[in-house]
Amino acid sequence: MDHETLMIESLKEHIRTSLIGVPDNLPELKELCTKMPDTYEGKDDFDCLEKWLHGLLRFMKIHRLTGVDKDMDRILVTVMTLRGRAEHWFSQEVEHPRHIICDWTFESMVIALYRTFIATATSQKAMQHYMNIKYTQEVGITTFYSELLQWAGQLAEYPDVYSFKRRIFGSLLGKFR
């Protein structure tokens, strides 16, 4: 699979696992005042998109916007978290009376945002970040490992176990860039 396909599959899995499996019979959290999640402005940065999506999905779970029957509600909530270029895209592609796609789902809308705003150059940025992460005593091993995991997940191809361990040990020994 190419990088875009892997990233899209990852987004789909994240959405599906977040919105399915939340029991309907949980007690309602009455008078819970939660703020809207951070906004997404259409920046060509997968981290920004992913952070926005995490917050949005968390908000939807708290407000019981899960299940197939709540898809239109999720789309309406989503537009409240878009700004700038992303909000303009939404008004043209989803809300406009002459839009091309008529049957948007929350999942298809998130994937379309990804395809519209995240360029293929993002995978090269991820590789640069992955290769430039260095272990220092100030940062510590836990933070170093977490950063490697974060950027490895955004690579065009996730490193195999041997390469990942080699990257860790090489950096610990000061032999890796």
Residues 128-153 pLDDT 10s: 777 888 888 888 888 888 888 887 77
Among 10-14, 30-34, 59-63, 160-164, which stretch is predicted with the lowest mean pLDDT? Answer: 30-34
Tallying the residues shown for the chain, one arrives at 177
Q: What pLDDT shows up at residue 19?
A: 84
Cβ atoms of 51 and 9 within 8 Å: the answer is no
The predicted-structure confidence for 13-48, as pLDDT tens digits, reads as follows: 889 888 876 666 656 666 667 788 899 999 888 888
Residue 164 has pLDDT above 70, yes or no: yes
pTM (2 decimals)? Answer: 0.67
Distance CA 90, CA 41 (A): 11
The helix, strand and coil proportions of the chain, stated in percent and rounded to the nearest 5, come to 60, 0, 40
